[in-house]
Each structure stands twice: as structure tokens, then as C-alpha cells.
A and B are shown apart, each in its own frame.
Chain A
Amino acid sequence: MSRFPDPRMIRGSLGAFVVAALALPALAEDAGQFPEGGFGLGREATPDEIALWDIDIRPDGKGLPAGSGSVEAGEEIWTYECAHCHGDFAEGIDRWPVLAGGEGTLANDRPVKTIGSYWPYLSTVYDYVYRAMPFGYSQSLSADDIYAITAYLLYSNYIVEDDFVLSRENFTEVRLPNEDGFFMDDRAETELPVFIGEPCMTDCKDSVEITARAVILDVTPEDGGEGGGSID
């Protein structure tokens, strides 16, 4: 028996499809059963292909390449490759991301979310710097360069001393201060049971006052000003 459906069966189901179409506003049929033994499409990836593309790093160190880099070496690379956007001390220039400082500000009116104050895992720094930085020349830095930049960012955040050397071997020993500052989405317990039920429809309040107006801020693009907040 063929692993694909019998064409006569397809004709049969099309007949039912036409009848059903008269009664239903929209029709959706699944793309069908997965055939026994698979479709046989695509080809095996080679080890070299996987090595070239599989660049991701995890908090447990999975994916880290061999190599090492010092704070001192990192400062030199940083000055040349990174400082024109992120500042000499990772303090951020213009609206480019601030990467150092901000300790103890997360509950403030204006929190400063940096590697030291907010990011939970160091592996994210290594992974992101290699895959996406320098901006406009991704995946161009060596493993030693990335270890060195990562070490310099730790130093900028007062997490290591200036003689520190980061390597694959000691990578997972370094923990970021805010690792425990995150928890799994709990909206199903904290919000969904609250935001439910038949709401008031008639005579719901006695008076209504305007409490805030966008024109006072005047930051809509055609109006020229600059507003608060960032999405990046």
C-alpha cells in the first residue's frame, strides 16, 4: 500500500468538501497525516555545515568554543570595536544600549537594565556579541576576542578584577547578580482570573474626568518632540 492517500479517496473527500462548503463559513483541513517512514525530503546535514551554523551558547556552557581572553585584552578590543556606540565604560552613547551600571535600580522609577543589573546569564553576552556584533560586521571576531570583550564587560560591571581572564573552563563559574530576578510568566494565575466576567454595561460611573493628554507631551512624529521610553 502506498504511504500516500489513495487518489480515489481524495476525490471522495472533495465531494464531501463541496457539500460542507455550502454550510460552513470557513473550512480548514489539516495538511494530512505524516507518512510512514517520512517524506524523504531534504538531505543529511554534514558536520562541517552544522559547525559553521550552530553558534548558539547556553547558560550551562553548551556551545562555548575553546579559547580565553583577559580584561586587559578586552579593553583594547572594546575601545576599537565597541566604544563608539556603547561608550568607553559601557555606559552607552545616545540611545545605544547601556551595558554597565544600574545596580539596585530595577525597582526605581527609571530602572537601568544592564548586564550587571539585569541580565541573568553571562552566556547571553558571549552568544549575542558573537552572533550580532560588531553592529554591521557580525560573526567577525575570534573566540579569544569574544572571551576578552565578555571579561571586560564583567570588569565594567565590577563583577571581576582587572587581572581576570575568562575562558571556556571557568565560564560557568561566573554568575551574574540578577540571575534570580526572573520568574516564569504567571499571568494565568495572577491576571486571567481577575480580568474575566461580565462587566458593567449601564450607568457604570457618575462622572468622568480626563487625567492625561498626549498633546501636552507633544512627541508624536509630525509634532517634532522626543518622548520617553524605549522599545529596544
Chain B
Amino acid sequence: MSGIFKGMKPSRRAFLRGAAAAGVGAASGGVAARAAQDPAFDGLQPWMQQLGDPVDAAPYGMPSEFEAHVQRKTVYWLTADPISSINFTPLHELDGIITPNGLCFERHHGGAAHVDPALHRLMINGLVDRELVFTMEDLKRFPRENHVYFLECAANSGMEWRGAQLNGCQFTHGMIHNVMYTGIPLKLLLQEAGVQTAGKWILAEGADASGMTRSIPIEKALDDCLVAFKMNGEALRVEQGYPLRLVVPGWEGNMWVKWLRRIEVGDAPWHHREETSKYTDLLADGNARRFTWEMDAKSVITNPSPQAPITHSKGPTVITGLAWSGRGTIPRVDVTIDGGKNWYKARMSGPSLTKSMHRFYFDFDWDGKPLLLQSRAHDSTGYVQPTKDQLRAVRGENSIYHNNGIQTWHVNEKGEAENVEIS
């Protein structure tokens, strides 16, 4: 049985025991012999003697060449072509809660549009007192706010409804990113236009070739939506809607219209393609839920996972993962290493912000035997992440969207992990 570290603070006695063991090793030549074989000490490394890059070598810096494998990846069989398609965030390579801009998953329906900001406008029309047009310069004169929010595609984990299918949390859970946005409260722009009393819905529309549209109730539009132009401090990336995108905190990613060019105020929803043919949740009886906007609480262990096996032998081991909820914060995540016989409260680390990713850790003493790992998120409303079978009992297996069931990884004696389902 693997030991669970209590409190994780090394005692003075344990510290002395460790020092004594090292002393014994040195006396028998063990530590010295290992050091002699360590290539890190095979003379001085070139970077210790030769000069590094000048400051003008990389005006826009990129990650180390040793991190070149850290990339978004697509699953080609999911869509008809790579233009109206999706790629996935490499969650297993990341830590903390912020997703670097270049690794934020992409989903577009007509390719990533390259929009000239000088020719970009935001129009507000429909049931307003003043139908308005804003330039990017106009928008940057409104008061703005900073918020960290996750954006999860409603189809994240959608390929897993019928059973374990993809081997890697990048593919099972990577349609998500978590970014600090700088943007104008949509409420201010709508107030500037003057929403009429009959205005109950807005239609957000993108400037790309798909002309992406979604209907959003006015209550949400006047609550916490942002019209954002920066992510993680810099301008939005092209593939994230440069120069302007809608931020709809806690709600499915498809509503966060990119390349935002128009907001129309109306008295009824529009029932466009992405809220009828797509992004409706077909249940087992053949009826479908519509307007399933909120993202349910969810979590996943990112390390170890199929793309990130345990590469060391038994002993101190770090399990880590992410949790989020479209309804608030994540005060607690439970972790099991025996397939749900026993659960332990994970250690939350980093900022706990509403509708943002949360990072959790579970530090334990691995005995080298196989593990069945799961995590279970609790959100600030008291909602507890269900199992996949609990979800299937309510929804069947055809709903594609909103699969927030508990994920299981089987880890074998070698530390290799596999996507499985368990009884």
C-alpha cells in the first residue's frame, strides 16, 4: 500500500535520517561512483564557458529548444478538414493555472481570420436607442477590467461518451484554456447604446468567414461578459479572435465569439446553427436540451497521464491536475489512487478565482504497484463532479457535449498510464 504523506513537512528526525543515509553512501563509495557517471559533470558544459545569445537574438522570445515537443495537436479523424476543426491544449506539459497564449487550443469554423485592426469595427444595433459603430481606438477609451477565466469547448471529452477512447489528457480534456483577459464590460457598451425594454437577447457575431453567431440572454450580457482585446497582457492571438473577442465567463466556449464585429439586441433568440444543429444535447429518448450554456464542474489529473508517465521508481511522487466550474470556484478536489475505494483531499495551490481553472496536487509515497487514479471536483455551489456512468444514466451516450464525468487513468508498475473506465 502506498503511504500518504501527512502534512508533508519533513520532520527533523527524518531529515537527520536522510543525512545519515547519504553519509553511509559516501563511505561505501556509492554517491561518489554515481557522480562520476553523471554526464552533467563530464567536464564543464559549453554554456558554462561560451557566451550565450545577445539580447537582440529573439525580439519576441520563444520557449527553450528542449521544449519543442510542447505543442497543440489535432485529431484528424474528428472533422472533415483542418480548417473547420480543432486542436488541443497540452495540459500534461503545463503547471499552475495560466495557459500560455501560444498553447491555447483553437476551434474555428472558417479558419483563423487575419483581421486588420484598422478596418475592424464593433457595431451595436437592433433594439437600442442609438445604433453605434466603434473603432478599436474608441473601445480602448472605455474603462476596462482584468479577469482570469477558463474557456472550455462544450465538446471537451465529447469523444469519451461511449467509453475510453483517446489516450492522453491533451485529447480527452484539452479543449480548454485559462487566460487573464483585459476587456470592457459588455454592460458599458450596451448602456452606451441604450438597450430598450423589449431587448431580452443579444446576438454576438464574428467577422470571420463562418460569421459565427450565438444568442445570449440579456441578463448574462449585463452581468459579467467582457469585450476583450488582450490575453495574458498582450494582444489576442489571431486564432483567439484578434483584435476583439467576447468573453462569456463560465459558459460554453462556442459563445465566446471571436473577431467580434457586431452585437444585435433583440426580443427573442435567433436559433442559429450553433444553437440548434450543434451545441444542443441529444438525450437517449431522442429529445434534445437546448441552451445548455453553463459548464458543469470538472477536473482531470494531468500528471501522470498517458502522455506523461511516471518516469521514476517508487518513492515520493507528485500527482497534479486541474479543476474548474462554470458556476464559481473550486474549494475542494478529492483524489483516489485505488479506483475510488478511498479518497483523499488534494492540496489546492495558486489563486482560487471564480470561473477560473484551479490547480491541485496530491503528494504521496508510491509503492511501485499499479494505480487507478481519479480526481473529483467540488464547486462552490456544493456540486460534486459525477462519474461517467452517473451522467450516462441521465443523458445516454449521444449528447456529444458537456461530458464532465470523472476521468480514470490506470498506471502500471512501469509508471505507464492508460485511459480506462472502471466498475
Contacts and interface: CB of A to CB of B under 8 A. Distances in A.
Interface stretch (A12-20, A68-76, A126-134, A154-162): A126-134
B368 interface: no
Contacts of B423: 207-209, 211
A221 interface: yes
Interface of B: 73-80, 83-86, 109-110, 123-125, 130-135, 138-139, 141-145, 147, 153, 155, 158-159, 161-168, 171, 184-185, 187-188, 191-192, 194, 203, 205, 209-211, 213, 261-262, 264, 266, 268, 270-273, 276-278, 280, 282, 284-294, 296, 306, 334, 338-344, 351, 353, 372, 376, 381-386, 390, 394, 398, 400, 410, 418-423
Given A118-B277, A185-B292, A208-B339, A41 B138 contact: yes
22 contacts: A30-B145, A31-B145, A41-B138, A42-B132, A53-B205, A85-B80, A107-B286, A111-B286, A132-B273, A181-B287, A184-B291, A194-B386, A194-B390, A208-B338, A208-B423, A209-B422, A221-B73, A221-B75, A221-B76, A229-B159, A231-B86, A231-B159
A163 interface: no
A39 to B, nearest CB: 6
Contacts of B353: 26
Contact of A106 (B76, B185, B286, B384): B286
Contacts of A66: none
A190 B276 CA distance: 21
Interface string A20-43: 000001101011101000110111
Contacts of B125: 45, 50, 53-54
Nearest to A198: B384
Nearest to B76: A221
Contacts of A184: 289-291
A30 B273 CA distance: 35
B209 A124 contact: no
A1 interface: no
A113 B277 contact: yes
Contacts of B296: 187, 191, 195
Contact of B382 (A38, A196, A203): A196
Contact of B272 (A49, A54, A56, A181): A56
Interface string A142-181: 0000000000000000000000000000000000000001
A227 B165 contact: yes
A114 B207 CA distance: 27
B382 A228 contact: no
Most chain A CB inside 10 Å of its own CB: which residue of B284, B287, B351: B287
A31 B143 contact: yes
A53 B124 CA distance: 11
Contacts of B270: 56-58, 127
Nearest to A205: B341
Interface residues of A, number: 91
A132 B271 contact: no
A120 interface: yes
A39 B192 contact: yes
B123 A34 contact: no
Contacts of B282: 106, 111, 113, 118
A7 interface: no
B188 to A, nearest CB: 6
B185 A31 contact: yes
Given A54-B262, A212-B163, A231-B78, 12 more contacts: A26-B351, A41-B138, A53-B262, A106-B286, A118-B288, A135-B84, A135-B110, A200-B343, A212-B164, A214-B164, A228-B165, A229-B158
A199 B80 contact: no
A49 B376 CA distance: 51
A204 B171 CA distance: 30
In the A-B complex, the 10 residue pairs with the smallest Cβ-Cβ separation, listed nearest first, are A208-B339, A107-B286, A31-B143, A106-B286, A131-B211, A214-B419, A95-B80, A226-B77, A212-B421, A231-B155
B191 A136 contact: no
Interface string A64-86: 00000000000000000000010
A87 interface: no
A199 B145 contact: no
B201 to A, nearest CB: 10
Nearest to A209: B423
A60 B185 CA distance: 31
Nearest to A125: B273
A182 B80 contact: no
Given A56-B213, A127-B273, A221-B171, A196 B384 contact: yes
B130 A44 contact: yes
Given A26-B353, A31-B144, A184-B290, A58 B77 contact: no
A46 to B, nearest CB: 8
A136 B209 contact: yes
A182 B134 contact: no
A3 to B, nearest CB: 13
A59 B275 CA distance: 13
Nearest to A26: B351
B188 A197 contact: no
A48 B86 CA distance: 36
Contact of B74 (A131, A182, A219, A221): A221
